[in-house]
Amino acid sequence: MGQGQKSSLPCSTYFHDGAINTLPEAMRIMAKVQLGKDLAQQDVADIVAFLESLTGQLPDNFRDVPVRPP
């Protein structure tokens, strides 16, 4: 990923040991383990689509400290 780009999605493996290769699979496992819920396939697809929408080009002034009003 080049400078000025952001991504909410890792691009390799998931979990501390890299045991899972896809975000949907990782989401299903974490929903079951942490929430005790089985996610429907459409729910997983919707969440992945949302996370993918957070990937893109950062504005040029991204690192500028905002000026607080007086």
pLDDT in tens, the chain (70 residues): 445 545 556 567 888 888 999 999 999 999 999 999 999 999 999 998 998 888 788 888 888 888 899 8
Sequence ranges of the domains in the chain: 9-57
8/50 Cα distance (integer angstroms)? 10
Cβ neighbors of 4 (< 8 A, separation 6 or more) are: 57, 58, 60, 62
Residue among 9, 19, 7 at smallest CA distance from 48: 9
> Are the C-beta atoms of residues 23 and 9 closer than 8 Å to each other?
yes
22/29 Cα distance (integer angstroms)? 11
Q: Percentage of the chain surpassing pLDDT 90? A: 41
